[in-house]
A and B are shown apart, each in its own frame.
Chain A
Amino acid sequence: MGWMAWSTVTTTFFIGIAIILICMTIWEIKSPTVERKGFLPIIATTRGDRVFIGLLGSAYIHLIFLAVSEHSIWIAFGISVVWFFSVLRWG
Chain B
Amino acid sequence: MNLKVKNNKAWFLVLPVLALVAFSAVIPLMTVVNYSVQDIFDQNSAYFVGTEWYREVLNDPRLQDSLIRQFTFSAAVLLIEIPLGILIALMMPTRGKMASFCLVVLAMPLLIPWNVVGTIWQIFGRADIGLMGAFLNGIGVDYNYASNPTDAWFTVLLMDVWHWTSLVALLCYSGLRSIPNAYYQAAKIDQASAWAIFRYIQLPKLQSVLVIGVLLRFMDSFMIYAEPFVLTGGGPGNSTTFLSQTLTKMAIGQFDLGPAAAFSLIYFLIVLLVSWLFFTTITHLDNKK
List chain A positions with a Cβ less than 8 A from chain B: 3-7, 9-10, 13-14, 42-43, 52, 56, 59-60, 63, 66-67, 73
Contact = CB atoms under 8 A, between A and B. Distances in A.
Given A5-B40, A7-B34, A60-B273, 15 more contacts: A4-B31, A5-B35, A7-B48, A9-B50, A13-B33, A14-B30, A14-B33, A42-B284, A43-B280, A43-B284, A59-B269, A60-B269, A63-B266, A66-B51, A66-B54
A77 to B, nearest CB: 11
A10 B46 contact: no
Q: Which 6 A-B pairs have the closest CB atoms?
A: A67-B58, A10-B34, A5-B46, A66-B54, A66-B55, A7-B48
Contact of B273 (A7, A9, A56): A56
Contacts of A6: 34
Interface residues of B, number: 25
Nearest to A13: B33
Interface string B52-64: 0011001100000
Contacts of B21: none
Given A56-B269, A66-B58, A7 B37 contact: yes
A10 B33 contact: yes
Nearest to A11: B34
A55 to B, nearest CB: 10
Interface of B: 30-31, 33-35, 37-38, 40, 43, 46, 48, 50-51, 54-55, 58-59, 266, 269, 272-273, 276, 280-281, 284
B37 A9 contact: yes
Contact of B54 (A7, A43, A60, A63): A63
B278 to A, nearest CB: 13
B37 A63 contact: no
Contacts of B55: 66-67
A80 to B, nearest CB: 14
A48 B258 CA distance: 32
